[in-house]
A = this chain, B = another copy of it.
Amino acid sequence: MPPVEPLHGPISMFSQSGNVSTQILLWGRDEGVGFEKFVNSGNEGDLTSEDYLRYFARDKASRIILAYIEGVDPGSALLPIAKEITRKKPVIVFKGGRTNAGRGAASSHSGAMAGSLRIYRSVFRQAGMIEVYSTQEMIDYAKALAAYPIPHGNGVGILTRGGGWGVITADCCEENGLAVPSLPENLSKRLDQILPRYWSRGNPVDMVAGIYPEPFMTCLEILANWEDIDVVIALGGGAGRGMLNSSRRKKVLELLRATEESLFKMEEAMVERQKEVLSFARQLMEECGKPIISVTLGSTDSRRDNMEFCQLLSYPTPERAVKALAAMWNYKRIRDGL
């Protein structure tokens, strides 16, 4: 197996596949989230998933539990153990061997009797475990729970530079049980003063391709302090270095009739502005206690900048951000017994 140096953080994981969990440690590194403890439980000849779950429950440094399970003993204590834990810390579970094809593969892999999916799902639900349906969601959800405060409600404020992305994000919120409250008159009037006359006048707040940092920060602040809103999603917040990366650099030089030197200065200035915006968002999140989720729309450069400048983690697409947020909202209700 390739050498892995995971980041240190609040997630602990047990897994019935060493290969899957090693990869998750690597993905965590790419996404900026770290691990506290990690066990590959193999074919569980002696200690089992239930033992590790019980141990992580008592371990204060383990704040989020992640599990890859192919099969547990039908007479196992998974349900009562998990039921007690999930009131205190989130347990995210990914079940391998959900289908005939998967069960066949699992029996020759971990030797697990993968059993009836209906029974597993019923146990997960009753125990308040958060089931994920793809490997990517394992790290996406764990990241959200590690990096942001748990939202108090399900109201989402959306800030976007382009109308289409606002539409897509609003759709995804509603489809995942989140609300997109209408913007009240008084906030709309305040935004009138800083946005172009033809702005959307609603939530999503569409900045109509505005790229200057000041209005962006003011919008962010207005949304974060709006009482109907529990989370702010900021779309395309990261212009910065990504705009001038090597593949586009030549074109930018041509278009702007710029020299390498002037472009370098421009880039430096952009990075400075970017740092300013991200630090502002980070501070705002701490002050208002609401998650502010940055969606970079896919730019790896921006995502790296976000982490480097101020540990503000981000998602590449609105769908991934919204689903992670829905998982947090789901956990909030599990924790509070709602």
Contact = CB atoms under 8 A, between A and B. Distances in A.
Copies assembled = 2
A134 B162 CA distance: 17
A335 interface: no
15 contacts: A2-B243, A5-B247, A15-B164, A17-B162, A19-B209, A20-B165, A97-B167, A98-B175, A102-B170, A102-B174, A104-B170, A106-B167, A109-B200, A135-B319, A300-B300
A168 to B, nearest CB: 6
Contacts of A252: 3
B96 A164 contact: yes
A110 interface: yes
Contacts of A171: 96-99, 101-102
A102 B168 contact: yes
Contacts of A74: none
A202 interface: yes
Given A106-B167, A298-B30, A174 B239 contact: no
Nearest to A180: B101
A102 B160 CA distance: 13
Contacts of A179: 101
Name, among A26, A102, A206, the residue most crowded by chain B CB atoms within 10 Å (CB to CB): A102
Sort chain A's interface into a size bin: 35 or more
Contacts of A163: 17, 19, 105, 108-110
A165 to B, nearest CB: 6
Contact of A170 (B20, B23, B99, B175): B99
A166 interface: yes
A136 interface: yes
A16 interface: yes
A201 interface: yes
A220 interface: no
A251 B161 CA distance: 42
B109 A20 contact: no
A26 to B, nearest CB: 7
Given A1-B209, A3-B248, A5-B248, A20 B99 contact: no
Contacts of A170: 99, 101-102, 104-105
Interface string A191-217: 000000000111010100100000000
Interface string A66-94: 00101000000000000000000000000
A18 B5 CA distance: 41
A38 to B, nearest CB: 14
A168 B20 contact: yes
A317 B200 contact: no
B99 A134 contact: no
A118 B151 CA distance: 32
Interface string A1-22: 1111100000000011111100
Contact of A166 (B15, B109, B165): B109
A135 B318 contact: yes
A18 to B, nearest CB: 7
